[in-house]
Amino acid sequence: MPISYRYNYPTCSHVSVQTRSPLLSGLASPAALPSANFRARGSPIMEDQVCLSSTLHSSLFLSPIPLPFLQLVQLELLCHQLYESSDIVTRRRAEKTLVAFSESPNSLPQCQILLENSQSPYALLLAASTLTKLVTSPTSSLSSDDRLQLRNYILQYLSTRISLTPYVVRALVQLIARISKHGWFDNDKSKGFMFRDILEEVGKFLQGSAAHCVVGIQILYELVQEMNTLESTRTLAKHRKTAGSFRDESLYNIFTLSTTLLRQVNISDEQQQPLVEWLLKLCSICLSFDFIGNSTDESSDDLTTVQIPTAWRPLFRDFSTLQLFFGLFHSLPPRLATYSVSCLVQLASARRSLFSNLERAQYLEQLVKGVQAILESPQSLSNAECYHEFCRLLVRLKSNYQLGELMKLDQYPQFLQLVAKFTISSLQSWQFSSNSVHYLLSLWQKMVGSVPYIRAQDTHLLNTYVPEIVKVYITSRLECVEGVLRDDIEDPLDDDTALGQQLDQLSVIARCDYHNTCELLISLFDTSASNYQQLLQSSSTRNENELSLREGQLAWLVHLIGHVIGGHVAHSNSGAYDSIDGQLVCRVLQLMDLTDAHLSQRGSEHLDIAIIGFFEQFRKFYIGEMIHKSAQVYRTLGEQLGLNDETMVLNVIVRKIITNLKMWMRSQSIMTKTLMLLQDLSLGFSSVRKLFKLDSIQFILANHNAEHFPFLGIVTSDQVDTRCRTVFYTALGRLLMVELGENEERFTHFMTPITNTLEQVKTALSGQTVLSEQQIKQMIVGAARDSRGILIAFSNKQSYGLFFEWIYPNYVSIFVEALRLWYLDSFVTTPTLKLVAELAQNRSQRLTFDVTSPNGVLLFREASRTIVTYGGQILTVGDIPEEELYSRKLKGIAISFSLLKSSLCGNYVNFGVLKLYGDTAMEDAMNIFVKLLISLPLKNLLDYPKLSASYYPLLEVLTQHHMEFISTLEPNVIIYIISSLSEGLSSLDTSVCTGCCSSLDHILTFLFKKLNKQKTGGGGGGAFTPSYALLQLPQARPEILQDMLNSILNTVMFEKCRIQWSMSRPLLGLILLNEDYFKTLRDQIVSLQPLEKQSSMSVCFDNLMDGIEYNMSTRNRDKFTQNLSVFRRDLTVSMKDSQADMMNESLPPMMMT
């Protein structure tokens, strides 16, 4: 018999297999939470009193309390310090103490003490937030009755303390909403669904004073918002099921209640206005509800259709709801009218299929009439928020209805005229409407974009108004430059995102009358450029304000010209405009020559950014592969500037790139955009070859050093981001590869500047020079970033071979030494580790060495040495402040994991040979990986996405090819790894979930085969068996695999399983390793079904295992995967009528996750 080894697995660990939110990790354990009787108390409470029911179990007081019982005054003082103290140390100390309070097993009764006796709103806020955290915890042991008592207690509390501070009221209302959401499916045979009577409870508030009514509506508002919000601790399937039930059961009633009250309330009474405000907010959030579960971002305007349920159709068919909100707009003050318009935005977005064709036309007519009335009496639009919502209403109107439908309305001509007038007025008031211009331009973009789909004989009237709108937009942007300079306000040119959106929209709108738009741009450009040239050439004292004004205006005009030309991409008949495009291009290039000539004296960052943006737009249409080739554009450029073809224009662009890289080192924005332009040009197959032939490119390839490009030197300014060097050298690497081949001399010459730098560093590290430590660091970082950029571009065997022969063995040791010396300085470690990770990356199979070459082994040794050096040093570091943890430690560990993963799956080294010949590189790297891993709290793996993105792929490689190593690890390490897989299975990142399924499958397959071999006595009779700690796991800690079986089966059965195939693979192994447990679990699930469902459920489980053999062969796995698909489909049919109950009560405890 083989020799077996038994390991002492820990019975408890700081690692939990069960998934818990990091936010809730500190909550008390289920056994420690009391079952409280919530009833109002008014008498003072002494320090030794506890406000609990006398029926509480006395063992509660035996639980350890991490915080001594604090007096009421002490708690209030701590809360005051937390929220109002200006001393950060005091705030942190108070926060730490209050966190301990909220995590105390006695937090529940102490919160009641605070609520009953404290006069401090901060203390009341603490109590409310702690209770909310408590009821949200997946591990909370509060029963349904306890939660119901808590909810009713808070309702009673609010009704008797109507003058609480608003933020305390909101916190308590949120608690009520959270309890109602989490208990929505709690069902009692005598009480029914206990938490669905919220409307009845709110009705009691509505029968009271105006203040009580406001609180009641706040409760409904928070309830709707809570039901529409996905919590991180609940799965999407559970969220959608709860939201769907709430939508069908209560949402319609809440909306009709709010509209009914709006009709009844006296809006002229100022005392009623708070109620009106909350009623409008409630209406808006009801209409904004995610009815079908297709919206993940509430702030996005991309989903412009509101999927109103069919049952709501009567509210829309008689138009009374529309008329109500239009009427309220005209009757309410501007601040409240804003909420009315918010409701109209949603009403205008109601899905088209809600109406018949006739009803849709009538509904649109009512909308247009209402909007028209607002435009005729726009007094309330003087409020910025109301104005903004109205702009959203206009664009939603066009998004949901076709231009042809609008044109059929009798009101269309007058409506279009009013909208155009409003748009022009808004554009002229650029400072007031800066955040709303996007919506207005989007409206006209959609209108103009619809013109090709209109019949020729129909009159859309856009040609009447659009040219004026374009003209006003352009002139208003030029006028805003003066306002920015005069009033020192935010410059729209600084907001790249908004600027790009607006210019893209205008490029479509301008096509309505392209010729006149271009003529306007030429006229304005000529005037501004002429004035600018005169100012630059003036011998008298320059007017700096006037120069800045002209530079800002020219920056706008260059941006506009670039995007107008770039708008050609979407139009097939743009060839007719190539001649005028040529005139525009000539003017921009002439301006560029003028500004570059004076760049040593002064420069405009905005203007140079605009010129780079212009080249980017020009490149899209007139340079590169599969683009429009127009002889007319180049004919115009040839006649005026002597630029006869694409190659000559490319040379102009490259010269501008060189100029910017030389002169604009201090401007990170210009450097970034310039280098991105160079990189885009180097990506094209034909453009990169044309670039390579240019003298200017040959100059860069021969002179990429600090003398010609200062940003490549030792830069001390914090404004220079060294990451731009990687982009620069990636582009140069692509250019070099055009004719590099195996030309070692050309490569060596190209690498000379980097070689010289590393030689200086080598000398400095040996103590033979007087370079400062900071200078040495900067030189190493620069060389690392430069080298990595080149490596990224070198994607074939020949070029990679040249690089490897250059860096090894001469210089790779320098980077390892840098990691040893400055392991805590992320400025050094990040680029250094990334360089070695790129060196080990077998991109495009470039790491293919000859059979006689030892380079594969040598490369892995260096990768291992890098990991061991850095890992060994970082493990010696003590506590690191939370705000610095990622940059100083976790980021380097994440890159090290990626480096190890690339090394293990690169297929350029035989790891078996290393062990055979006593090479410990592999063993050393794996051991340091384990030490790094267990040094990390488990929650960090998912709290930091980049860390999880490197860890889980590495673990997948390890479990696939190196299970012998994994299986011999210490028990606590194995538990950590399996726990991390359990955490990963609940991740919202599909790639993480899939990788965890694969890793778990590899582990289970190995475990199953080894255990099966032990049972059958296989493996060579009395041969020695390695000490596989993993084999003891099923006996020592059976609950670990059983919990994972519960989790995966629960996901497959009751949730929206996104990766069913992936989950089927480890599920088979878990079932085969836990046959008895699976049978018990199956029997429990079947027994909990209604009697009429039990037989069909039993058949589902029988079919799941039908034809499944006791092995892990590929054929058996595929059969199980097929059975699982059928099982899930049949289960859905079988449980359709009882899914709601299965969400809570029907699942056995072991299935609750």
What is the C-alpha separation between 519 and 403, in angstroms, rounded?
28
Backbone angles phi, psi at 350, to 5 degrees: -60, 140
Question: Which residues neighbour 716 within 8 Å (Cβ) at sequence distance 6 or greater?
Answer: 774, 778
Give residue 634's pLDDT: 85
Give residue 489's pLDDT: 84
Phi-psi label, residue 1081: left if phi above 0, alpha if psi -120 to 50, beta otherwise: alpha
Domain ranges of the chain: 143-293
Give residue 539's pLDDT: 61
Strand ranges inside 979-1046, DSSP E = none
What is the C-alpha separation between 163 and 2, in angstroms, rounded?
77
C-alpha distance from residue 424 to each of 413, 414, 427 (Å): 17, 15, 5
Specify whether the CB–CB gap between 499 and 505 falls below 8 A: no
Question: Which residues neighbour 637 within 8 Å (Cβ) at sequence distance 6 or greater?
Answer: 582, 585, 586, 589, 643, 644, 649
Residue-wise DSSP of 711-738: GGS----TT--TTHHHHHHHHHHHHHHT
Q: Which of 583, 573, 454, 459 is nearest to 517 (CA)?
A: 583
Give residue 626's pLDDT: 52
Give residue 716's pLDDT: 63
10-residue averages of pLDDT along the chain (1153 residues): 36 34 28 31 30 29 37 84 87 86 81 86 91 84 86 92 92 94 83 85 90 94 93 78 91 95 90 93 94 63 78 90 94 94 95 92 95 93 93 93 92 95 92 85 93 78 93 94 88 92 93 91 95 84 85 96 80 66 94 92 92 93 66 85 90 96 92 95 88 94 93 75 93 94 93 96 87 92 97 94 94 96 94 96 90 92 97 92 90 97 92 89 96 93 92 96 92 93 86 93 93 72 58 88 90 81 93 93 86 86 92 93 90 59 38 38
Specify whether the CB–CB gap between 690 and 626 falls below 8 A: no
Residue 866: how many CB atoms within 10 A of its CB?
A: 27
What is the C-alpha separation between 265 and 791, in angstroms, rounded?
71
One-letter amino acid for residue 781 of the chain: V
Phi-psi label, residue 64: left if phi above 0, alpha if psi -120 to 50, beta otherwise: beta
Give residue 340's pLDDT: 96
Q: Which of 1107, 1128, 969, 1006 is nearest to 1060 (CA)?
A: 1128
Give residue 271's pLDDT: 87
What is the C-alpha separation between 1101 and 105, in angstroms, rounded?
41
Q: Which of 1152, 934, 954, 1070 is nearest to 10 (CA)?
A: 934
Specify whether the CB–CB gap between 622 and 684 falls below 8 A: no
Long-range CB contacts for residues 753-757, cutoff 8 Å, separation at least 24: 753/704, 753/705, 753/706, 753/712, 754/783, 754/786, 754/787, 755/806, 757/782, 757/783
SS3 38: coil
Give residue 929's pLDDT: 97
Pure H helices in 50-143: 72-84, 88-102, 107-117, 121-136
pTM of the model: 0.84
What is the C-alpha separation between 764 and 768, in angstroms, rounded?
6
What is the C-alpha separation between 967 and 1027, in angstroms, rounded?
8
- The string over 320-331, giving b where at least 16 C-beta atoms fall within 10 Å of a residue's C-beta and e elsewhere, is ebbebbbbbbee
